[in-house]
Structure formats: structure tokens, C-alpha cells
Amino acid sequence: MSQQPVETRGMVTRLVLVTMAMFAFGFLLVPLYDVFCEITGLNGKTGGKYEPVAAMTVDKERTITVQFLTNNNAGMPWEFRPEVRSMKVHPGEVVLTTFYARNPSGDAMVAQAVPSVSPMKGAGYFHKTECFCFEQQQLEGGADVDMPLRFIVDTQLPDDVTTLTLSYTLFDITEMANSVAVN
């Protein structure tokens, strides 16, 4: 009988340690995933703002189809779409297109667009020089906006990649933006 409390204490200690380890793993999962994607090139993540090389040449012999897709995360009521669904571009050429967003709600909202490029093999060759995804987008209720995207497809894109698809998912980050502004 006298050993039962010691065994119980040991079990409780192990359970607390396992719970703490699970919490730490969950907390570190997103940064670990980001590092994994950066190393392997998975998930089609694109880099931040790209500064083009001054003497970049345009490869007029090659044409790449660039497709644009948009999605709203669950609970995001905005209308969000590309002005053009697909275009043909030459590697090395600076291209400008726009995306349309409208906030149909009666309240001001803040959104963040998260890009992804597929195939994953081509993600590192799609460079954004100007993008609405670099910043949060705030729209008053009923307001709309045309948001620019300026990009370059790298001339080093592998020859077997002839189509790139840029997909954006739009997230409602109003609560997060408001809590940051208050603090």
C-alpha cells in the first residue's frame, strides 16, 4: 500500500512531461514545416520581394503559360479573383497583372493573401517584384480594390516546365490585426 502513492506520482510526472512535449511539438510544428519546405522546395512557397538583375535578358524563344487561381479561406466573405486567369509570358520579361477584391460586408476587414506556385519544381523560378501579398489589405465595408502583381519568370526555369500556376488563398486576419493595433 505504501508504494501506490509513489507509483501514482511517477505516472502523473510522466503524463505531465508527455503533455508538455506534445505542446512544444505543436508549437514548433509551423516553424519546422517552413524550414522543411524551404529546404526541400515542397509546398510551392515563393520567396519575398525579388530585386531583378539590371541586365536581365528576355528569352523570346520560349513561352510559359502562367495561370492564376484564387481561394478564400473558410469564413472569408470577400470577392477575390484575378483580372486575367491565364497569360503567356517570356522568361525574363517583367509582367504586370491585377487581382480584384471586394469586401461585401458592412464592416472594415483586414486580409492577407498567401501565395503558392505549382509545380513545385518551378516555384523557385517565379519571382514577384511587387505583390499585394507582401502586405495586409484593409478594406472598408462595401469597398473594392484592384491589387497589382508584378512578376518575372526566371530564364533558368527548367525546359520541361511550360506552365506555372500561381494560387492565392485569402485569409481574414481582422481580429489579429486589431489585437496588434491595440497593443
Q: Which CATH number goes with the domain that contains 121?
A: 2.60.370.10
pLDDT tens, residue by residue, 38-80? 554 555 455 555 555 556 789 999 999 999 999 999 989 999 9
pLDDT of amino acid 9: 83
Task: Indicate whether 78 and 3 sit together in one domain.
Answer: no
Is 140 in the same domain as 84? Answer: yes
- What share of the chain in percent tops pLDDT 70? 80
CB 160 within 8 A of CB 125: no
Residues 1 and 90 in one domain: no
Asked if the model's pLDDT at residue 137 lies above 90, the reply is yes
How many domains does one find in the chain? 2
Q: Are residues 74 and 34 in the same domain?
A: no
- Residue 82 shares a structural domain with residue 124: yes
Note whether 9 and 92 are same-domain residues: no
Residue 53 and residue 126 in one domain = yes
Same domain, residue pair 36 and 48: no
Q: Is the pLDDT of residue 178 over 80?
A: no
Strands 64-72 and 163-172: parallel
Residues 75 and 117 both lie in one domain:
yes
- Where are the strands (E) in 73-139, listed by range? 79-82, 86-89, 94-102, 109-118, 126-131, 137-139
Q: What is the pLDDT of residue 152?
A: 93
Residues 107, 77: contact at Cβ < 8 Å?
A: no
For 127, the domain range is 44-182
